[in-house]
Structure 1
Amino acid sequence: MKQTILFSLCVFFSATLYAQNSISRNFVGAGGGEYNTTFETIQYSIGEAVIDFYTDTAENLIITQGYQQPFYVLMPLKSKTLCQVELRIWPNPTQRFIHVEIGDGVKLEDVTCYLYHLNGSLVGKFRMAETSEIDLYQYVLDAFILHFVDHQSNCHKVFKVIKN
């Protein structure tokens, strides 16, 4: 009788130890989900240690794996010039000041600059008639979007600025 009980306990514990060796696709992450099409299934997760991406140029599709990006900054490779306003900023990246140079033919009092955080929130507004430089002292070390608007010609210029 003792041998039967001992044998049963050994089988039970060896089975539970063997279960620990199985390979599982489970992980602890912040989130995720699944997307199904007629041809394939894509499972995604947020919080994995490995990050990779897939690009399909025919479908104009980018899929990232692992940590999902909270924002995208898309910059065209080629673009048509829709307005003739010449505008330059420097230095970029900067520690404090962004110098702004606006070309001839534009009245400074017609130009407004909006400073956006990359999450989309407006953090500053500047009238270019008052200054030709923008002080970023009060803002955290991060990337920002500078959006210049010429109200006379309704021309818009956008720059990505990094404060370090």
Structure 2
Amino acid sequence: MIEIERKFLVHSETFKKEAFKQTRICQGYLNSHKDRAVRIRIKGDEGYITVKGASSKSGLSRFEWEKQISLDEAEALLNLCEEAIIDKVRYEVQVGKHVFEVDEFFGDNTGLVLAEVELTTESETFIKPEWLAEEVTGDVKYYNSQLSKNPFKLWKS
């Protein structure tokens, strides 16, 4: 139940040609506190409820619990979520022995593209594809729960 991942900005669309899968995701938050979040997600035609805890000091790991729920339940729960809904397409890209999940955001977060790679240990090494840019692991403003409160469009000067 501990999730270990690293997160990066993405500087090109090359990943799209390398993706073996893409899925539309719509998600909202019943609770989007930085120390704990309760997320409702529709991924393709499947529903999920997820609880995430606070990140470790390094920002690499945190508690995560997820359970699949029916699409009808997810749609009903999305109506109870905080105002902003995250809309994105997730591309899955195999790089060496790891799968990178690359999220292209829409709506108020249009222009933001983030890649995550899940690891089995905090010290695990992985191949970094050329389309990765700055690492933003542990930077709370890039958490989806925070993007729903302070969207990318508000960051631009």
TM-score bucket (shorter structure): under 0.3
Larger RCO: 1 or 2 (CA < 8 Å, sep 6+): 2
Q: Which has the larger radius of gyration?
A: 1
Give TM-score, length-normalised by structure 1.
0.27
